[in-house]
Amino acid sequence: MIVCSCNVLSDCQVRFAITRAAPRARMSQVYASLGCAAKCGRCACTIKIILEELRRFTATDNIAIEATNVR
């Protein structure tokens, strides 16, 4: 699905950029890693949602790994 029509970025590209970025990636880092910058800003909300989803997933995954290591 196209997330940013100005830069023609898909959700897959955004997710990949987020996983390559720092653990607490910022919007500007996501755009920079994709070689572009925000233009009209309509995609910012969607990219923020993707960032939050991946942070929650990573946090949940880390908790599960820690629980496994305790045993």
| CATH value at residue 10 | 1.10.10
- Which residue shows structure tokens 């880390």? 62
Residue-by-residue DSSP string for 4-58: ETTTTEEHHHHHHHHHHS-TT--HHHHHHHTT---SS-TTHHHHHHHHHHHHHHH
Average pLDDT over residues 6-29: 89
**Which token pair is 12?**
């897959």
What average pLDDT is seen over the chain? 84
pTM: 0.75
Give the total number of structural domains in the chain.
1
Local confidence band at 61 (pLDDT 50, 70, 90 cut-offs) = low
**Full domain range(s) for residue 12:** 2-70
pLDDT surpassing 70 at residue 55:
yes
Average pLDDT over residues 47-56: 91
Contacts of 64 (CB under 8 A, 6+ apart): none
